[in-house]
Amino acid sequence: MKILCNITDTAMEEKANGSVDTKSPVENGQLPDPSNWGVADVVNYFKETGFEEQATAFQDQEIDGKSLLLMTRNDVLTGLSIKLGPALKIYEYHVKPLQTQHLKSNASS
């Protein structure tokens, strides 16, 4: 009997064909705001977006939502000790857009 949630099925299919999901989960047409996330939330976010292996680096470095929003490109590329390819994708497709969304939502408040 196979009981898996849709996110797990999708991630497994994508891993099987060698691709990595670089899409950010969207809530109500916007990226989520990680400012109140704990370390576990950050880790789960990256696991759900296809970076299961790299998610542990955020756990090891105790990166919570506030820390995530403060990270620079260099922090992601060198501070997490993960391979360059995934680090670039994590920064460009996830960290940077989350930071931009957070700044936009705070500016309009």
Residue 1 lies in a domain: no
Q: What's the CATH code of the domain at 74?
A: 1.10.150.50
Euclidean distance between CA atoms 13 and 5, whole angstroms: 13
Residue 86 lies in a domain: yes
CA angle at residue 42 from 40 to 24, to 5 degrees? 140
φ/ψ of residue 30, rounded to 5: -130, 155
Please count the other Cβ atoms lying within 10 Å of the Cβ belonging to residue 34: 23
Domain that holds residue 77: 6-107
Predicted pLDDT at 108: 74
User: Which run of H or of E encompasses 64?
Assistant: none
Predicted pLDDT at 80: 97
Residue 12 lies in a domain: yes
Chain position carrying tokens 């105790």 = 62
* 55-69: pLDDT as tens digits: 999 999 999 999 999
Q: Count of domains in the chain?
A: 1
pLDDT string in tens for the chain (109-residue length)? 333 333 333 333 344 434 445 555 666 677 889 999 999 999 999 999 999 999 999 999 999 999 999 999 999 999 999 999 999 999 999 999 999 999 998 887 6
Q: Is 85 exposed, middle or buried (0-12, 13-18, 19+ CB in 10 A)?
A: exposed
